[in-house]
Every structure is written in structure tokens, then in C-alpha cells.
């Protein structure tokens, strides 16, 4: 697991000491002088751990901790406090902190607590991977897909960035399986998993084996044009690797839309339904194409289909 730490303290001396410690331990890091600056840094970069002072101007450590637990639940937090703080160990742990360090502290204590948190994060990630991973393709599985949709979409709505869902299906996969056998079919699915990872953005897009010969991609932080480009890139790569006989891919693409009066589960279910209908519209037209639902109508289905005419 790649570790990157955000150091937050309004005392320049303490911040400098933390920087020297991180350099000695070999951990990549960034710094912020208070909670507000830390929130900006969290939007801009990926972090695995935050070390934060408790008493700071503008936004204190407890406010920052609450923000992290709500918006970035996978990031661990170690709180650093002075002896005279009004919040104690129990308060910060109940609020979601992983650990608590009292000033003044030594290098050995800091290293030990950071190492413990990193070890626990690594173990948790391994266990999550086993429970959320499709063993054939090494992509995330359907269970993980449901969880990530319900995590990512409300956060995207709060933070004001779009999210797209791409559903993919292998055209004529049953015929390929019948002709070449299930082991050959498994190799097709494994290659699709590899292609999805290669053609999407690392640590941004989420790729899943949805079930059978169906796959899904959650695409955040993208425009409609960029989402279509990702789907196009996948079809082009699959078509270029021409060892799959008569098979091709169909992709249905939809953007999440929040409807007044509807619940999150209702709007998320509607997103999946729209992407699924777009997918099967493409398959009915012969496959080997990207079809966007009405939320992407400005791009024009004809242009997307023209790039990928049906296989003969």
C-alpha cells in the first residue's frame, strides 16, 4: 500500500519537526497550517493518514476529524494535543481518530504509532480485497459495486462533481463459449479485466465484474466527453486484440442525476437502469458500440456508433 501523510499544525516549530520525522521515516507527505488548508489539500491529493493538531485557528482538529470521517472514511487520523486540551483520548477516539499523541512526544513514539496504523490499514485493505474481489478477473465484484455506488454518488453530489456509470457486455459470448470451451471464455473475461484497468484512470475510476460476462465502471471527476472517450478506448483496445473471434463489446453509459423528492437508493437504481437500457439498445443494434442514455444525448449516439460499426 502506498502511504502518503498530511501533517497539520499551526505551530511552525512542530510542523518542521514533523516534516523532519517524515523525511527520516521515508514517508511521502504534505503540510497544512490549519484545518481549512488541510481540507483544501485533501481535495487536491490522495492521502492515507492525517496527523493533526487539536487547537488551530479557523478550523480546529476536531472539526477536521469530523470532516475526514464524513468525506474520506478510509483516511486514518492521529490527533496530536497538548496536556491542557479540553478533549482527551476518549473524545478523539470516539470521534473517529485512530490514535492520540500528547505533546511533547519523541521520535520513537511517533514512529511506533504511525507504523501501527499503516500495518492495520494494509491488513484491512488485504481483507477488503479478498471479500470484494472477483477471483477470475481480479476486478472488484458485484458486492463492492453496490457499496461503491452508494458511497461515491452522495459524496459527488455534495462536492459538486459528476459521476458516470458504464455497463459493458460481451457480444456473442455464449456462442464463443460453446465453440471454444469455458476455459477460453474465462481467458476472454480475464483479458477484459486487464483492458478495463489499462484504459481507465488509476485511483480514480472503479472497475467491476458485474456478473457473468457483464462489467461496470464508475467514472467520477469527468465530463461527458471524457467518459465516452474512456469507453471508446476500451472498445478500441478490445477490437485491436483480435484473438476473440466474433466477439465484441457493447457499452451503455449514463450520468447520475439527482431528482427532487427521490431517495438516494431510488436515484442510484434509476442510474443503473438507464445505463442497462443504453447497453441493450447497443446490443440490439449489433453491438460493438458505445450508447449513451438521454443524459448524454448532446454527444449524439450516431457519432459514437459510427466509430464502432457492428462486426460482420
What amino acid positions are annotated as catalytic residues?
213
How many whole angstroms from its chain centre is CA 46?
A: 11
- Distance between CA 82 and CA 108 in Å, rounded? 18
- Distance between CA 278 and CA 281 in Å, rounded? 5
Amino acid at each position: 500500500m502506498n502511504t502518503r501523510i498530511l501533517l497539520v499544525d499551526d505551530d511552525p516549530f512542530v510542523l518542521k519537526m514533523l516534516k523532519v520525522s517524515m523525511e527520516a521515516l521515508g514517508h511521502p507527505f504534505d503540510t497544512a497550517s490549519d484545518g481549512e488548508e488541510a481540507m483544501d489539500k485533501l481535495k487536491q491529493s490522495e492521502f492515507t493518514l492525517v496527523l493533526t493538531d487539536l487547537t488551530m485557528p479557523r478550523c480546529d482538529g476536531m472539526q477536521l476529524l469530523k470532516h475526514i470521517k464524513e468525506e474520506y472514511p478510509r483516511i486514518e487520523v492521529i490527533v496530536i494535543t497538548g496536556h491542557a486540551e479540553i478533549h482527551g483520548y476518549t473524545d478523539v477516539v470516539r470521534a473517529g481518530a485512530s490514535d492520540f499523541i500528547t505533546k511533547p512526544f519523541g521520535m520513537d513514539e511517533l514512529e511506533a504509532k504511525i507504523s501501527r496504523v499503516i500495518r492495520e490499514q494494509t491488513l484491512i485493505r488485504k481483507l477488503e480485497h479478498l471479500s470484494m474481489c472477483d477471483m477470475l478477473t481480479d476486478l472488484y465484484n458485484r458486492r463492492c459495486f453496490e457499496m461503491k455506488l452508494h458511497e461515491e454518488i452522495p459524496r459527488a453530489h455534495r462536492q459538486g462533481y459528476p459521476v458516470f456509470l458504464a455497463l459493458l457486455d460481451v457480444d456473442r459470448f455464449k456462442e464463443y463459449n460453446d465453440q471454444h470451451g469455458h476455459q477460453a471464455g474465462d481467458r476472454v473475461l480475464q483479458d477484459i479485466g486487464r483492458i478495463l484497468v489499462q484504459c481507465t484512470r488509476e485511483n480514480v475510476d472503479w472497475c467491476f465484474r458485474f456478473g457473468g460476462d457483464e462489467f461496470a465502471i464508475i467514472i467520477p471527476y469527468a465530463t461527458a466527453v471524457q467518459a465516452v472517450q474512456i469507453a471508446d478506448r476500451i472498445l478500441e483496445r478490445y477490437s485491436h486484440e483480435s484473438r476473440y473471434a466474433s466477439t465484441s463489446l457493447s457499452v451503455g453509459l449514463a450520468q447520475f442525476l439527482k431528482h427532487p423528492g427521490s431517495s438516494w437508493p431510488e436515484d442510484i437504481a434509476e442510474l443503473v437502469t438507464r445505463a442497462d437500457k443504453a447497453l441493450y439498445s447497443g446490443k440490439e443494434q449489433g453491438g460493438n458500440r458505445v450508447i449513451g442514455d438521454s443524459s448524454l444525448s448532446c454527444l449524439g449516439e450516431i457519432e459514437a456508433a459510427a466509430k464502432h460499426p457492428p462486426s460482420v
